[in-house]
Every structure is written in structure tokens, then in C-alpha cells.
């Protein structure tokens, strides 16, 4: 139903938690290389628990490859300087919720990419740098899913 895109994630535990998030919500998780870890990393496996086989996870060699595969109609780039509050969006199935690397967030050129519909922010107290990546993705995804009555995604056609 919804698609999470992590642009060059660095911390394996965050991606492991996102794998679990994708599994329990029916969202897809898309990762853009380079990744700051490999899939054999014990922290990624521990955070994802036994959900790896239940989640749809796709790794793309670069952002252009991700766009080609996703063919997104709408992309929401989450950033601490976002122009739109995450609760002010009426989310549609198929929307891409994009997040940047933990240490620096989304680069300016990615936020300005032609595919980005809007930059979006989660509210925080002033003088705080950012939320944890997996927590941010969870907050955003659950708002989108809530707006659709927590409906289960449609089963893929055989």
C-alpha cells in the first residue's frame, strides 16, 4: 500500500526496525545504495527479528534506479526543514515516504529532485536535531495507514 524509501541508510538497527515495520504494516521498504552495512550484519538481523521473510525489501543501486522501479506519483521527502506538517497530507496508496541517512538527512539535491512532491516535517521541540530514522518512518507510515482505516494491502495478483 505505502512505500518507505531509505536513501543511503547508515545504521543497521534502523533498517532492521524498518524491515519489521514493513512486515507488520504491509508497506514496502526500498533502500538506495550505498548502504552503511550489509544484510549479514548482526544488528540488522537482531532488529528485524524473524520478519525478514515477511517484508518486501528492495535494494536499488542508486536513486535513479529506485525512481524507475517505483514510478512514483507522489514522493514525500521527510526533513527537519520540511514545508508541510506530516498530518496535513492526505496520503494515497502507493505514496513514497522518503527519509535520508541518519548522520546528515536528505541532501539538498535529493530534496529538490523532480520526483519530490513536498518536503515534510515531523514536529519536534526547538534546538533538537532530529528523530531516530526508524521512529520517524514509523510515525509517518502509521499516519498514512491510519487515514486508510488500517486496511490490509491488496494481495498481489497471481
Per-domain residue ranges for the chain? Answer: 3-146
Judge whether residue 47 has pLDDT over 70.
no
146's CB contacts (< 8 A; 6+ apart) are none
Span 13-34, mean pLDDT?
95
Q: Are 128 and 15 in contact (CB under 8 A)?
A: no
Please determine, for residue 90, whether its predicted confidence score (pLDDT) is greater than 70: yes
Architecture of the domain delimited by 3-146: 3-Layer(aba) Sandwich (3.40)
Mean pLDDT for 6-32 is 95
Predicted TM-score of the model (pTM): 0.93
Q: Average pLDDT for residues 75-101, to the nearest whole number?
A: 97
Q: Please state, in angstroms and rounded to a whole number, the distance separating the CA atoms of residues 47 and 106.
A: 23
Amino acid at each position: 500500500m505505502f512505500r518507505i524509501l531509505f536513501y543511503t541508510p547508515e545504521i543497521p538497527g534502523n533498517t532492521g526496525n524498518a524491515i519489521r515495520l514493513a512486515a507488520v504494516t504491509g508497506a514496502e521498504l526500498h533502500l538506495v545504495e550505498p548502504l552503511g552495512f550489509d544484510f549479514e550484519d548482526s544488528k540488522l538481523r537482531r532488529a528485524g527479528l524473524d520478519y525478514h521473510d515477511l517484508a518486501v525489501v528492495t535494494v536499488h543501486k542508486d536513486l535513479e534506479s529506485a525512481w524507475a522501479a517505483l514510478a512514483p506519483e507522489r514522493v514525500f521527502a521527510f526533513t527537519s526543514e520540511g514545508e508541510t506538517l506530516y498530518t496535513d497530507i492526505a496520503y494515497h496508496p502507493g505514496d513514497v515516504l522518503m527519509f535520508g541517512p541518519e548522520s546528515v538527512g536528505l541532501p539538498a539535491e535529493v530534496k529538490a529532485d523532480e520526483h519530490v512532491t513536498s518536503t515534510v516535517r515531523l514536529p519536534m521541540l526547538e534546538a533538537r536535531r532530529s528523530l531516530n530514522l526508524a521512529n520517524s518512518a514509523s510515525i509517518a507510515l502509521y499516519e498514512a495507514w491510519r487515514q486508510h482505516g488500517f486496511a490490509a494491502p491488496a494481495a498481489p495478483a497471481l
